[in-house]
Structure 1
Amino acid sequence: MRLHRPKLAWYLPALALLMTCSAPQHRANGPRQGAAAIRPASLRPDVVLRAAWHADEKDVRPGLVYDKAVKAVFVHHTDNPNTYDCKKDVPGMLLALEQRHIALGWNDLGYNFVVDRCGGIYEGRAGSVDRDVRGSHTEGFNNDTVGIAALGNFGAGQQVPRPMLEAIAEIAAWKLDPGISPLGKVRLVSSNNASRYPKGTAAEVNTISGHRDVYQTDCPGQALYDALPWVRAEGVRLRANAARYG
């Protein structure tokens, strides 16, 4: 695992409003308690917490929803330019993303985690580091899943930086329940008719899937989608190393 993450600048540059993958406009209200899975501490990557990127907490609607498991990970991209400076620009980009999601009625930043092109991992939705918090990232399939957004646009012809892929694999290896393989498949039940699957329909998906697998979108972009097999294999490798070395 990589031991170092880029340090954040402690100011927020003004940036244009970001375009993002389609996500659900509502999440359930009120807390639902669930025991978090016991995960090896050695799998937890370095995560930049919300306070460090100055998340706008005053407009976040209270009442986190906790899931009892993490059965799958959905990978997204944010559709903004890839030329940002990881140290100077990312905090402001995350704040703009959060404010856009709140304006859309998603109560907070919809993704549980965001990764930048330098491999930085950022806490998205409040509480996602310490608990299995339900996000607003994948229409019909937010329950028992984690949403990871790659900061940038990774359509056909774009290059996905290796540090970014490594960061996605690290989150997946850490957050997926211990009994669920990053290379496996899982059955999830749709909770929304707006997804590719009518409400109540069971869908079999990869435990590390792209947004497009369950929703009518090109997200996370063809280049990132094509890299998901590598992410799955890397997730398995990280778990094997954690089991071997503790």
Structure 2
Amino acid sequence: MFKISVMRGYLFSSIAVTCAAALALPLASPSGALAERPTAAGGPAIPGSTQSLPLAPLDGDRTLGPSAEQGLPQSDVRRFSLVGVVWDDPDTELHGRVQVRTRATGTSRWSDWQDIETHNREHSADLDAAERTTGRVRGSTAPLWVGDSDGVEVRVQPGLDEGAEGAEEAEAGVRSGRTGVSEPLPDGLRLELVDPGDDPPPASLGPLTAASAASSAVNSDLAPLGATVIPALSRRQTMEALLATRGEDMADQRAQPYIGPRPRIVTRRGWRADEKLRERDFAYTKTVKAAFVHHTATGNTYRCSQASSVIRSIYRYHVKSMRWRDIGYNFLVDKCGNIYEGRAGGVTKPVMGAHTLGFNTNSMGIAVLGTFGYSRPRGAAVNAIARLTAWKLGIYGANPAGKTYLKSGGGNLYRKGKNVRLNVISGHRDGFATTCPGGRLYAKLGTARTSSARYQGR
């Protein structure tokens, strides 16, 4: 099987990153975490903020301890668009139900109660990864996109002990309000309200900062420094570009590689990532053998014109609320089929993500914006998965319709160190016992594999 070497392609970008990053270093706190600082004079004003509010027993009786229902009564707050709940220990699961209702900004109109997906532990760095072992990472629910809001109410109900009553009885107890043996809620519950800010027009982006220059430089062989979009190429143009940049590596090969046309990709600058939030350095694995498909579980109410705002919100939630080094996914896809660069480090490179606990090494994570347990994903989004994987997996010689082996880093399906045979395009649930990427999206992965292989010319 033909396999393209990517090491030569790293040289120019690595030099550019080093030079750009050396211009200025982010401020660090005594714990080693990055501290936010004001934008330099004359630089672009990148909006966004996070409100973090402690939750407390709703009946006011703190003597009931962690088995009491906790929450926040109706409250006026600063503007936000995305909501989630975090707690102290990332290894503790929240067994129960989290619901939120919000008030649209400038109105008296409150939404109905909405459930927030509580099982989010499987979206994270591997257990022994430096990102996970900082002692700073928090447990969390999935984030939920609620739109422009300035009022919020939340309730967190503990689940009943499933060992005593069984899963169905426990769930029924939570929903009906029956009393029983409740599982304790995690310590340190906080409500996180994220404001992505308004999208500044391209003309007002301003000059590159050192951090944004470093993030852009790793893609400088694909688009000009500071570009907001990496343009699409035909399959022929994609092949010619590879031959031009990696001709020596390909000269001795007898067969042309299977690779799909490069899709259009909105860069981090394109979705207005605040680069001072993330950690400065980039983390890489050795190769890309597989792609894991996810849904963000943020809901389906966003418009495609809001996708950049949704991504900025997820990014801020991952970094400021959950305390990861960067957004967890390598790529994101909206319902209209637009593709977005995720974790910084270069779209052609094997960037280490934090998307599939136990299988982040030598893989990439693609998240479709939305929730697909019962809602069907649009064909444009499924096709975007096919186009993206045909190109990116093709760079590393992987067959989207084939199988591969990945070594587990530990999880609830496979012990650490076990070599697991997986589809090259897998769903998150193939590596971890989870509902992600939702049953409706998971059912479309066969179509994505076939289409991706066809784009590669197989």
Is the pair's TM-score, using the shorter chain for normalization, greater than 0.5? yes
Report the equivalent of 2:81.
15
- Whether contact under 8 Å (1:108, 1:125) holds in the other structure is yes
The residue type paired with residue 296 of structure 2 is T
- Whether contact under 8 Å (2:125, 2:360) holds in the other structure is no
| Counterparts of residues 145-224 of structure 1 (less than 5 Å) | 145-156=363-374, 158-177=375-394, 178-191=396-409, 193-224=410-441
| Counterparts of residues 99-114 of structure 1 (less than 5 Å) | 99-102=316-319, 103-114=321-332
Report the equivalent of 1:6.
none
| Local SS of the residue matching 1:96 | helix
The residue type paired with residue 366 of structure 2 is I
CA offsets 1:82-136 (integer angstroms, 9 cap, x no match): 121111x111110110111113232100000000000110011012414221111
Aligned partners of 1:120 and 1:51: how far apart in 2? Answer: 15
| Counterparts of residues 63-102 of structure 1 (less than 5 Å) | 63-87=281-305, 89-102=306-319
5+ residue gaps in structure 1?
Answer: 1-9, 30-38, 242-246
Larger Rg belongs to: 2
The residue type paired with residue 126 of structure 1 is A
Identity of aligned residues (%): 41
RCO higher in structure (CA 8 A, sep ≥6): 1
Aligned partners of 1:144 and 1:96: how far apart in 2? Answer: 27
Aligned partners of 2:261 and 2:130: how far apart in 1? Answer: 30
Give the TM-score, by structure 2 length. Answer: 0.45
CA offsets 1:56-79 (integer angstroms, 9 cap, x no match): 211201221222211000000011
Report the equivalent of 2:362.
144
CA offsets 1:211-242 (integer angstroms, 9 cap, x no match): 0011121000000000000000000111118x
CA offsets 1:161-201 (integer angstroms, 9 cap, x no match): 0110011111111111453211111111011x234111101
- Whether contact under 8 Å (2:425, 2:445) holds in the other structure is yes
Aligned partners of 2:454 and 2:436: how far apart in 1? Answer: 26
Aligned partners of 1:97 and 1:128: how far apart in 2? Answer: 19
The number of residue pairs the alignment matches comes to 220
Aligned partners of 2:328 and 2:451: how far apart in 1? Answer: 25
Aligned partners of 1:128 and 1:210: how far apart in 2? Answer: 23
Aligned partners of 2:356 and 2:300: how far apart in 1? Answer: 23
- Whether contact under 8 Å (2:334, 2:381) holds in the other structure is yes
5+ residue gaps in structure 2?
Answer: 1-45, 49-78, 85-115, 132-237, 242-259
- Whether contact under 8 Å (2:382, 2:448) holds in the other structure is yes
**Relative to structure 1, is the Cα distance of residues 206 and 130 closer, same or farther in structure 2, using a 3 angstrom cutoff?**
closer
- Whether contact under 8 Å (1:81, 1:152) holds in the other structure is yes
- Whether contact under 8 Å (2:358, 2:408) holds in the other structure is yes
Q: 2:448 aligns with which of 231, 234, 240?
A: 231
Give the TM-score, by structure 1 length. Answer: 0.82
| Local SS of the residue matching 1:95 | helix
Question: Pairwise CA RMSD of aligned residues?
Answer: 2.2
Aligned partners of 2:312 and 2:352: how far apart in 1? Answer: 20
| Local SS of the residue matching 1:148 | strand
The residue type paired with residue 323 of structure 2 is G
Structure with more of its chain in strand, by fraction:
2
**Relative to structure 1, is the Cα distance of residues 169 and 11 closer, same or farther in structure 2, using a 3 angstrom cutoff?**
farther
Q: 2:342 aligns with which of 124, 146, 157?
A: 124
Q: 1:24 aligns with which of 101, 110, 124?
A: 124
Report the equivalent of 1:44.
262
Runs of 4+ in 1 over 6 A off after TM superposition: 10-13
Moved more, 130-139 or 211-220: 130-139
Aligned partners of 1:72 and 1:14: how far apart in 2? Answer: 36
The residue type paired with residue 96 of structure 1 is S
Report the equivalent of 2:170.
none
